[in-house]
Amino acid sequence: MINKCLFPAAGYGTRFLPATKAVPKEMLPILTKPLLQYGVEEALSAGIHNMAIVTGRGKRSIEDHFDKSYELESQLIGTNKEHYLEEINNLVDQASFTYIRQKQMLGLGHAILSGQPLVNNEPFAVVLADDLCHNNGDNVLTQMIKVFNEYQCSIVAIQEVPMKDINRYGVIKGHLVNNSKDIYHVDSMIEKPAEEEAPSNLAIIGRYILTPEIFDILKELKPGSSGEIQITDALLVQALKGRVIAYKFKGKRFDCGSIDGYVSATNYFAKKAGIKI
Ligand code: G1P
């Protein structure tokens, strides 16, 4: 069972300055919903009700967003805008939210390690909210949980990306599991390789299921790419023991950490909502 989902949400969002000077990048909206809310809804529909959020300074609006707002309620109740409350409260009522602050920005691996007190000693999901995923049918996390249930080891979601973009990702080298077109045993992995070093075009996207041994590995890890503690390097230690599966998920993914991905996601969701632009 995967009961908890960790959301690293402490980054500065420099690519979106000045918007992210006072607004956390996870709170930037696609249409009317903040990116982080899409992630929380994905976790909920995958059956996970405990959201563990790693925040940092200047991120208090995240806590306020996933809480009751009695002032808003008293303003809207009894008006023709009351229906807005329903969606907000439904979400807040269905999930529990716990928070911890990452005190220093030492990379994604460090952010995940900072979340250890919130997830304890059990396998957990990780969602990077700026990778916005959408598809009809089972969502990405649900698909990954099915893979986890079969293999009981750490799982990374992957997709094929153009080689010119490969240096933006963790990249795997793997071999297909028998009789499968989308499940790989990971032999090796590398964070943000140059194009000529990349072992494949199979890039890790921001969805993981991690077994709790990852924390001991992260504690021992030296800084890697960009001088940061990288989750890819920790997973490599597990992969070398044959304990990591990569899963080519079904669905769309938008890199909302980049401006072009953010605009594409906005256009995609607007079209889906029937908004004429
Ligand atoms: C992080 C991970 C990287 C992964 C990517 C997916 O990088 O370190 O391995 O491929 O997320 O979005 P970041 O986007 O934080 O630079």
CATH of the domain at 62: 3.90.550.10
pLDDT at 58: 85
Is 254's C-beta closer than 6 angstroms to any atom of ligand 1?
Answer: no
Residue 122's SS3 state is: coil
Is 190's C-beta closer than 6 angstroms to any atom of ligand 1?
Answer: no
pLDDT at 12: 87
Contact yes or no for 170/206 (Cβ under 8 A): no
Return the best residue to mutate from 204, 231, 258 for the ligand 1 pocket (most ligand atoms within 8 A of CB). 204
Give the whole-angstrom CA distance, residue 5 versus residue 84. 26
Token representation of residue 224: 């890697």
Beta 183-191 vs 244-248: how paired, if at all? antiparallel
pLDDT at 84: 85
Is 198's C-beta closer than 6 angstroms to any atom of ligand 1?
Answer: no
Question: Which atom of ligand 1 approaches the CA of 232 most closely?
Answer: 9
By alpha-carbon position, which residue is closest to atom 9 of ligand 1?
Answer: 170
Burial class (CB in 10 A: 0-12, 13-18, 19+), 177: middle
Give the whole-angstrom CA distance, residue 67 versus residue 116. 23
pLDDT at 51: 98
Question: Which atom of ligand 1 approaches the CA of 169 most closely?
Answer: 10
Domain hosting 27: range is: 4-272
In a domain, 39, yes or no: yes
Cα separation values, 265 from 30, 167, 169, 222, 250, Å: 7, 22, 19, 35, 17
Q: How far is the CA of 150 from the centre of ligand 1 (A)?
A: 25
Exposure of 218 in the CB half-sphere (CA atoms within 13 A): 22
Token representation of residue 31: 């249409």
By alpha-carbon position, which residue is closest to atom 7 of ligand 1?
Answer: 169
Q: Name residue 189's beta-bridge partners.
A: 172
Contact yes or no for 265/28 (Cβ under 8 A): no
In a domain, 90, yes or no: yes
In a domain, 277, yes or no: no
Beta 4-8 vs 154-160: how paired, if at all? unpaired
In a domain, 56, yes or no: yes
Give the whole-angstrom CA distance, residue 149 versus residue 147. 5
In a domain, 62, yes or no: yes
Burial class (CB in 10 A: 0-12, 13-18, 19+), 149: exposed
In a domain, 194, yes or no: yes
Is 11's C-beta closer than 6 angstroms to any atom of ligand 1?
Answer: no
Is 203's C-beta closer than 6 angstroms to any atom of ligand 1?
Answer: yes
pLDDT at 140: 97
The structure's pTM equals 0.96
Beta 131-134 vs 124-127: how paired, if at all? unpaired
Is 233's C-beta closer than 6 angstroms to any atom of ligand 1?
Answer: no
Question: Which atom of ligand 1 approaches the CA of 231 most closely?
Answer: 8
Per-residue confidence in pLDDT tens, the chain, 277 aa: 899 999 999 988 899 999 999 999 999 999 999 999 999 999 999 999 999 999 998 899 999 999 988 898 899 989 998 888 888 888 999 999 999 999 998 999 999 999 999 998 999 999 999 999 999 899 999 999 999 999 999 999 999 999 999 999 999 999 999 888 899 999 999 999 999 999 999 999 999 999 999 999 999 999 988 899 999 999 999 999 999 999 999 999 999 999 999 999 999 999 999 998 7
Token representation of residue 85: 């409350």
Total domains present in the chain: 1
By alpha-carbon position, which residue is closest to atom 15 of ligand 1?
Answer: 108
In a domain, 115, yes or no: yes
Is 205's C-beta closer than 6 angstroms to any atom of ligand 1?
Answer: yes
